[in-house]
Amino acid sequence: MQKFSRAALLKALIPGVVLSLSMVGCKDPNAGNTTGGSGSTESNSTAATQDTSGDKIKVGQYASLTGETSTFGVESNAGLTFAVEEINAAGGIDVGGKKMQVEVETQDDQSKPDEAKTIAVKFAADPKVVAVIGEVASSRSKTAAPEFQRAGIPMISPSSTNPDVTKVGDFIFRVCFIDPFQGFVMAKFAIEELKLKKVAIMRDPQQDYSVGLADVFKDEFTKMGGEIVADVSYNAKDSDFRSQLGQIKGAGADGIFIPGYYNEVGTIARQAKELGITVPLMGGDGWDSEKLVEGAGGPGKALEGAYFSTHYSKDSKDTKVQDFVKAFTAKNGKAPASLVAQGYDAMMILADAIKRAGSIERKKVRDALAQTKDYAAVTGKITIDGDRNANKSAVVLQIKGAEFTYVKTIDPK
């Protein structure tokens, strides 16, 4: 397999690109373990018995480096890369008293679920892979996860929030909160902070993330005494959302919840403004991209004053956050976005689990991940619960110009 430098990756964001970040080091992967998936579709994958020889810890990553949501993959990869550089600069991970360097092989899934599955099959057949980090989007994580479960390879999603992702099996983890909590956060914020009583929802039925978050928000908002006056569907590939927005305007909504991704939200907001809709717009962590405001016509335009929930704020006064922001900014010339922090946390939590396991055997790494408790991550203190989800707080940010400014932290209920 051809290897590329990190710089070469960022220059060559084309379908099928393969990045291998190889950092010089000491040792590599361990013992094989294969388990069956739970409720997954049939696969042609061939799980390889783990090869523990060598002098490096090989970690696989699959991410959307190109395609419709390329910002997600590029940012998450930047965080993971920063973590690996930090780990290796410190001598590597202490594995049973021996320092081992980390090597990452990154595959571009082009923002396509089918491609994510193809990559998962490839990683499952690689005896050197200790664990895999990915994906950001829930639909792609759900497609790939059964392959890693069958192969007995721990998979850690930095930010897939759909609850079904980790239900695939006991080798599938995430380091982010899930939609039932995120939906609760935005419903609570809408009721208590924005004082909204009638809200409309715009959802993309083809995205697991959008459907799951919309359903939870709807349930929580009505439980809290609010009313959903319209619940309309759209297709992210569309360019005209005026029909749906017209329905919402006619329903008398005093707020709109749009649990979509950044690449369509900007267009929706722009067309809403053209139709004279001025009520608050709200969303989830799928909005969290530096390209969000650009799609809405630029700073101070259609998304000015809108709110969304996400995993961290660079404005946090926490010392760990500020140290991370300062170090990343010094190296990369800009502050880290939320997905950068999540990619960083995913890799650092994996490194912590390997150290605690004292082994790179996949099953032992899996067990250590499951025992993660009160890990002081950049995005907050993380404990992995019995369903392999992260129990952690969420933050609500408001869009002001080109900045996402901190508004409020909401803890798990």
Q: Kindly state the DSSP code that residue 280 receives in the 8-state scheme.
A: P
pLDDT value for 312: 94
345 has a pLDDT exceeding 70: yes
Confidence grade of residue 72 (pLDDT, cut at 50, 70, 90): very high
Tokens of residue 17, six digits: 């690109």
Instruction: Verify that 68 and 146 share a domain, yes or no.
Output: yes
Instruction: Verify that 116 and 189 share a domain, yes or no.
Output: no
Instruction: Verify that 267 and 372 share a domain, yes or no.
Output: no
For residue 288, what is the domain's CATH number?
3.40.50.2300
Domain-embedded: residue 397? no
Q: How many Cα atoms sit within 13 Å of 218 on the Cβ side?
A: 17
Give tens-digit pLDDT for 77-94.
999 999 999 999 999 999
Confidence grade of residue 48 (pLDDT, cut at 50, 70, 90): confident
Higher-pLDDT residue of 412, 353: 353
pLDDT > 70: what percent of the chain? 89
Domain-embedded: residue 404? no
Last residue of a domain, one of 279, 310, 341: 310
Confidence grade of residue 23 (pLDDT, cut at 50, 70, 90): very low
Domain-embedded: residue 42? no
Instruction: Verify that 273 and 328 share a domain, yes or no.
Output: no
CA-to-CA distance for 99 and 89, rounded, in angstroms?
11
CB atoms closer than 10 angstroms to residue 30? 23
Instruction: Verify that 259 and 329 share a domain, yes or no.
Output: no
Instruction: Verify that 186 and 281 share a domain, yes or no.
Output: yes
Domain-embedded: residue 298? yes
Angle at 406 between CA 385 and CA 402, to 5 degrees: 120
Instruction: Verify that 173 and 184 share a domain, yes or no.
Output: no
Angle at 382 between CA 377 and CA 386, to 5 degrees: 150
Q: Choose the weakest-confidence range: 27-41, 239-253, 390-404.
A: 27-41
Domain-embedded: residue 47? no
21 has a pLDDT exceeding 70: no
Instruction: Verify that 339 and 261 share a domain, yes or no.
Output: no
Instruction: Verify that 193 and 285 share a domain, yes or no.
Output: yes
Let me know: does 335 contact 325? Beta carbons within 8 Å: yes
Give tens-digit pLDDT for 98-136.
999 999 999 999 999 999 999 999 999 999 999 999 999
Instruction: Verify that 277 and 163 share a domain, yes or no.
Output: no
Give residue 250's domain range.
180-310
Domain-embedded: residue 163? yes
User: If you average pLDDT over residues 148-176, what whole number do you get?
Assistant: 97
Last residue of a domain, one of 260, 287, 310: 310
Domain-embedded: residue 32? no
Instruction: Verify that 153 and 232 share a domain, yes or no.
Output: no
CA-nearest of 216, 225, 219, 176 to 196 is 225
Q: Choose the weakest-confidence range: 32-41, 204-213, 321-330, 360-369.
A: 32-41
pLDDT value for 45: 54
Confidence grade of residue 251 (pLDDT, cut at 50, 70, 90): very high
pLDDT value for 46: 67
Instruction: Verify that 125 and 82 share a domain, yes or no.
Output: yes
Domain-embedded: residue 257? yes
User: If you average pLDDT over residues 154-173, what whole number do you get?
Assistant: 97
13 has a pLDDT exceeding 80: no
Prediction pTM value: 0.81
Last residue of a domain, one of 310, 345, 367: 310
Angle at 234 between CA 246 and CA 339, to 5 degrees: 120
Number of structural domains (the chain) is: 2
402 has a pLDDT exceeding 60: yes
pLDDT value for 290: 87
